[in-house]
A and B are shown apart, each in its own frame.
Chain A
C-alpha cells in the first residue's frame, strides 16, 4: 500500500520537476556543445551560420596561458577563502556553542555579512581599501605606525583583498553550519570520556572533531564550489586588476564572452570548467557518502 502510494506520489511530482530542469538544461547543453565546436564571434553573422571547426577551439583554450592562470587563480582564491572561512567560522562556532550573556546579539551580527548583496560589498570595499582610505587608517591606529598599503596596486595585496571580502561575506554560512553541528552533537560520548578522565584537548580531537567531520567536509565542498564561480564581488572590486593579478575564472569568462564576444571560446572554457567542477563533485559525493555511512554505522548499530 505504501509502495503504491509512493509510486503515485513519485509519478506526480517527479515529472514536473524533471521537465522543469530539463527545459532549462537540455537547450543550454546543446548550445554549449554547438558553440564549442563551431567558431562564432557574436558580431559576425548569425549563430547558425557558424562554421564547424572540430576541436580547434578546445585546443586554442588549452593552449592559452591566460586560461591556465585564471584557473590557478580561481583555485587559490577558492581554496584560501574556503579554508579561512572554515577556520574562522569553526572558531566562532566553538566559542559560541554554549549559552552566555550576549550570545544572541553576537549571533545576529555575525550572520549579517551573508545578507548583504554581493555587488554592494564590492563597491563598499573599493572605498575602504584605497591607499589613503579608512582601512589603512584603522590599521595605522591599531598598530601605531603609518600603514599605507596599496591594496589594489600590487599583486599580493590585491589578491588578499578579494580573498578577504569573500571570507567576510561567507564566514556566516560556515559559522551557522558549524554551530548546528556543535549543538547537535550527542552528549553521551563526551560525558563518558570526561568521566573516564580525558583532557579537553583529547575530547576535542578524538571525539568532537570526528563527529563533525561530515559537516566540515560538506561546508568545505559547498563553499569551495561556490567560490569558484564568484563573479560580482571580484568584478566590482578590481575588475581583474591590477594588470591581471585578480583575473579569476569567472572574470576571464566574462571578458571572453561579453567583451571579446568570442562566444565559442567562452563555451569551450565553460565546458572545461564544468568538467573540473564535475570531477570535484564526483569525488565529493563519494567522500560525503562514505562519511555519512561511517557516522551512521557508528551510532546507529540497530539501523
Chain B
C-alpha cells in the first residue's frame, strides 16, 4: 500500500474512532434534552420514547417558572420558582471565582517571579484540593454555626475560594512562567513602577490565560452540590441544591422536570466552556510541559 492510501485509511479510521466516542458523548446529552421536552406519560415507557411526541415546553414552565399545571401523569406542580437559586448561584459562583482568581494571580506572580513558595509547598497546595468535601462537611457545619457563618454568603464563598485556590494558582503560574522575565526588566529599566509593569505589561499577556482560569473555576463552583446543600437554609440555596428536589420517597423521580431544570443549569456552563475552549489547552499543563 502506498503512502497516500495509507494516509487516507488513517484519516478514515480516525473519523470512525472519533465518531464512536462522539456517539458515547452525545447519547446521554441527547436523552437528557429530549426528556426535558416529554409529557409526563412518556418519561418512563417501554419501549423507550426517544423523540417526545408531542414536544412540550411544560416541563420548563414548571421547573423554571413554577406554573401550576395539571399533568396527566402526576397532578402536581411547583409554584416556587428557581430564580432565587439562580441569582444565588450566579452571585456565589461569580464572587468566589473572582476572589480565587485574584488571589491566585497574586500568589502565582509571587511564586513565579520571587519564588515565595517552594515547589514542595506548591504541590502540597495542589493537593489541598484533593480532600473530598464530604470529609469536612460536619466540622464545617459546627464551626460555622459557632461563628455565625451558616447560611451566609461569606461562609460558602470562603469554602469555595479555599478549595479552588490551588487550581487557580497553578494555572496562572504556568501562564506567567511563559513570559520571559526580561520583558519586565526592560520595562523597569525604562522607569516603570512595579505596579505599572504588572498592570500594563504582564497582565495583558496573560489575560487570555486568566480568563481561562476564571471560567474553569467557575465551572467547579457552579456545580458544587454537597457543601451548598449542607450550609444553605433559606438564604443561599444554589441551583445544584434546587436540582435535587425532584424526587420523593413514595413518588420517585420526576424525570421531565428534573431534566428541564438540569438542562437549564448546565447550559450556561456549556456556553462558557465552548467560549473558552481554546484557552483550556494552555492552562492545563500545570507547568509540566517544557515550552
B102 CB, nearest partner CB in chain A, Å: 10
Question: Which of A16, A186, A218 interacts with B103 by CB under 8 Å?
Answer: A16
Question: Which chain B residue shows the least CB distance to A16?
Answer: B103
Chain B contacts of A21 at CB under 8 A?
Answer: 128, 162, 165
Interface flag for B143 (CB, 8 Å): yes
Q: Are B289 and A14 in contact (CB under 8 A)?
A: no
A20 contacts B162, C-beta separation under 8 Å: yes
| Contact present for B127 and A231 (CB under 8 Å) | no
Cβ distance B130 to chain A, nearest Cβ, rounded Å: 4
Complex contact A6–B113 (CB within 8 A): yes
- B222-265 residues with Cβ-Cβ distance < 8 A to A are 222-223, 225-226, 239-240, 243-244, 253, 255, 258-259, 262, 265
Interface hits, B6-59 → A, CB 8 Å: 11, 14, 17-18, 21-22, 24-29, 31-32, 35, 43-44, 46-48, 50
Q: Which of A1-47 contact B (CB under 8 A)?
A: 2-3, 5-7, 9-10, 12-14, 16-17, 20-21, 23-25, 27-28, 30-32, 35, 47
- B116: contacting residue among A14, A127, A225, A270, CB under 8 A: A14
Q: Distance in Å from the Cβ of A287 to the closest Cβ of chain B?
A: 11
A12 cross-chain contacts in B, Cβ below 8 A: 106
Q: Which of B14, B106, B225 meets A119, CB within 8 Å?
A: B225
Specify which chain B residues have a CB less than 8 angstroms from the CB of A225 in the assembled complex.
127, 130
In the complex, which of the residues A24, A106, A132, A266 has the most CB atoms of chain B within 10 Å of its own CB atom? A24
Q: Are B21 and A181 in contact (CB under 8 A)?
A: no
Nearest chain-A residue to B276 (Cβ)?
A111
Cα distance A124–B33 when bound, in Å? 10
* CB neighbours of B115 from chain A (8 A): 6
Contacts of A236 in B (CB 8 A): 244
CA distance A17 to B287 in the complex (A): 22
Expressed in whole angstroms, the Cα–Cα distance for A229 and B72 within the complex equals 40
Contacts of B117 in A (CB 8 A): 14
Is the Cβ of B14 less than 8 Å from the Cβ of A117? no
In this assembly, does A201 line the interface, its C-beta being within 8 Å of a C-beta of chain B?
Answer: no
What are the residues of chain A within 8 A of B110 when measuring CB–CB? 6, 9-10, 13-14
Note all chain A residues with C-beta closer than 8 A to B259.
120, 123-124
Whether the pair B273, A285 counts as a contact (CB closer than 8 A) is: no
- Which residues of A have CB within 8 Å of B26? 109
B94 beta carbon closer than 8 Å to chain A? no
- The stretch from A57-65, A150-158, A294-302 touching chain B is A294-302
A258 contacts which chain B residues (CB < 8 A)? 137
> What 1/0 flags go to B135-161 for Cβ under 8 Å of A?
111111011000000000000001101
A147 interface residue, CB < 8 Å from B? no
> Which residues on the B side are within 8 Å of A125 (C-beta)?
28
B174 to chain A: closest residue by CB:
A180
Residue contact A24 to B158, C-beta cutoff 8 Å: yes
Contact call B50/A134, Cβ cutoff below 8 A: yes
> Which of A7, A116, A215, A289 is most buried by chain B, counting CB atoms within 10 A of its CB?
A116
Instruction: Give chain B's interface secondary structure class.
Output: helix
Interface residues on A, range: 35 or more
CB-defined contacts of B142 to chain A, threshold 8 Å: 31, 47
The complex places the Cα of A289 from the Cα of B118 at a distance, in Å, of 12
Chain B residues with CB under 8 A of A292: 287-288
Given that A119-B243, A127-B35, A132-B48 are known contacts, is A266 also in contact with B138, CB under 8 Å in the complex?
yes
Q: Which chain A residues border B47 with CB–CB below 8 Å?
A: 132, 137
Is the pair A229, B135 in contact by a Cβ cutoff of 8 Å?
yes
Interface residue? A184 (CB, 8 A): yes
Asked whether B119 lies within 8 Å of A296 as measured between CB atoms, the reply is no
Q: Is B286 an interface position by the 8 A CB rule?
A: yes
**B281–A126 touching, CB < 8 Å:** no
Check if B71 is an interface residue, CB within 8 A of chain A: no
A162 at the binding interface (Cβ < 8 Å): no
**Is B80 an interface position by the 8 A CB rule?**
no
Which of B106, B133, B138, B266 is the one whose CB lies under 8 Å from A263? B138
B10 to chain A, nearest CB (A): 9
**What 1/0 flags go to A128-162 for Cβ under 8 Å of B?**
10101111011000000000000000000000000
**In whole angstroms, how far apart are the Cα atoms of A296 and B284 in the complex?**
19
Is A228 in the interface zone, CB < 8 Å from B? Answer: yes
- CA separation between A25 and B124, bound complex, in Å? 14
- If A5-B194, A117-B240, A229-B132 touch, whether A13 touches B139 (CB-CB below 8 Å) is no
Q: Is A226 an interface residue, CB under 8 A from the partner?
A: yes
Of B103, B114, B244, the contact of A17 (CB 8 Å cutoff)? B103
Please tell me if the beta carbons of A23 and B158 are within 8 angstroms of each other in the complex.
Answer: yes
In whole angstroms, how far apart are the Cα atoms of A7 and B110 in the complex? Answer: 9
Q: A117 touching B28 by the CB < 8 A rule?
A: no
Among the listed A112, A123, A184, which residue makes an inter-chain contact with B262, where contact means beta carbons less than 8 Å apart?
A123
> What is the minimal beta-carbon distance from A140 to any residue of chain B, in angstroms?
10
6 additional contacts (CB under 8 A) given A123-B258, A130-B44, A292-B287: A14-B116, A32-B139, A111-B273, A116-B270, A117-B223, A285-B120
Of all A-B residue pairs in the complex, the 9 with the closest CB atoms, nearest first, are: A229-B132, A6-B114, A120-B262, A31-B139, A225-B130, A270-B135, A10-B116, A115-B273, A214-B288
